Amino acid sequence: MNQVVYNTSRGRFLEMTNPTYNKNMSRLAIHFDPILAIFAPFYKIYPGPETLIIGQSIILGLGALAVFLISQVILRQELLGLLFSISYLLYFPVQRAVLFDFHAVTLATTFLLFAFYFNLVKKNLLYFLFIILSLLTKEHIGLVIFMLGIYLTFVKKNRKIGIITSILGLIFFFATVYIVIPYFNGGAHFAISYFSNIGSRINNIIAQGFLYSKILIVPAFFSLFSPRSFLIALPEWAINILSSNGNMRSIVFHYNSIIVAILYYSIILGYKNITNIFKNKLVHKIFLLTFIILNIRAIYLYNPVPGWVKHPINYKNLDQTVGTSILKWQGLLEDENIKVATTPKLAPYFTNRRYYYNFLYDSAYKEMGIAEKDILRDNINKYQLADYVIINKEEIGNVNETKLPVKFYQKLVNDKNFEMIFSDDIKIEVYKKI
């Protein structure tokens, strides 16, 4: 993402080094997320992944404002609006999406929530503005927008807006998945392969899908009391559950971003339905208390923040020698035309350039059942396109073992076209093409 935005800020619109083809191509060959370009002007102030991380945090955090505004329209109680806004900020998929990395689709959480709000207050131009912003974050969102249109048409009886929304979503989905991405990629969307052999995986799909759904829904159980709005997210649930990429069912990554927006809209509507079904205010308080308890439980079990949670993320200061090594080579290789390959965790330091290659491979490959021999065949020689290779030995592991990263490392070490020109004797090694 950093390389895409950096290149865009230098006049090379959405250009990146494609990790599959090892050549510079448009980002649109992988995903349709041109919303990335909005960050390019900020790279004139500070060019680096920090800009993306901070921008993502601000935009995702503003989703709490949308939750509050939606609550005000539907429930007309500020205290409840505040409660749901706080629960949104503390909801583990929100916090983990920010913590994990930067992905454009994470921004769709806020964009969709504001679309819901502007639909409620009948400000159609702003509604469609946020629908379009959502569509610009990833190609498959068109399916969710299609379902939103169905909901508006048949549930909200807003036929004109609903039909336009559905048509827009369908056109967008088919245009991006079957025309735009194949045009830039020269072939079908890479993720289509995730949905093969569903029949042979059906038992795992059911078991994993149930657990995944349960973890997300329990602290958001009010959403089940608004089943028609809940179903807007059905395409996203299906994509995540049916995929052979297990990361898409993880709470650690960004794949839950669209679901979060639908859940919070449904939570508010669900609570409204509860108050309509049960007229006793004591019952309302019991439901709210249950909601708070389940949210506190979810915070303890799944939130990443340091402190009293079960699995806190505790950051460690970078070893001073290692940090000095990285900064040194950042400076020596700051020319954007120098081709660099690094192990994945060093990528943020060295992707402010036109050409960048990933040493190693995507960590999801093995989980998806891709054979080790195929990973080696397709990835082990990619570093040879670079002028310099920078290794974080922590990502390699014990070099005396025969694990897959070690095989990549040994290939480099024994490559007569490269020589080691630097080692800090701790973690960082630099190799130069002779």
What is the per-residue pLDDT across 257-275, written as a single tens digit (0 to 9) for each? 999 999 999 999 999 999 9
User: What gap in Å lies between CA 104 and CA 254, rounded to an integer?
Assistant: 9
Mean pLDDT over residues 101-130, rounded? 97
For residues 235 and 140, is the Cβ–Cβ distance under 8 A?
Answer: yes
Instruction: State pLDDT tens for residues 303-341.
Output: 988 778 898 887 777 788 888 999 999 999 999 999 999
Pair 81, 67: CB distance under 8 Å: yes
Q: Using alpha carbons only, give the angle 195, 198, 199 rounded to the nearest 5 degrees.
A: 165
Give the mean pLDDT of the chain: 95
Q: Distance between CA 102 and CA 100 in Å, rounded?
A: 7
Report the distance separating Cα 349 and Cα 49, nearest Å: 9
| pLDDT of res. 368 | 62
Q: Among 83-87, 214-218, 284-288, 361-365, where is mean pLDDT lowest?
A: 361-365
Joined tokens for residue 205? 């799909």
Q: Helices 63-74 and 108-120 sit at what angle, rounded to 10 degrees? A: 20
Q: How many helices (H) and strands (E) does the chain have?
A: 20, 7
The owner of tokens 């680096």 is 48
Q: Which residues pair with 358 in a beta bridge?
A: 342
Structure tokens at 316: 């460690």
Residue type, position 251, single letter? I
Q: What is the CA radius of gyration of the chain?
A: 23
Half-sphere exposure of 402 toward its Cβ, with a 13 Å CA cutoff?
1
Least confident of 17-26, 347-356, 380-389: 17-26
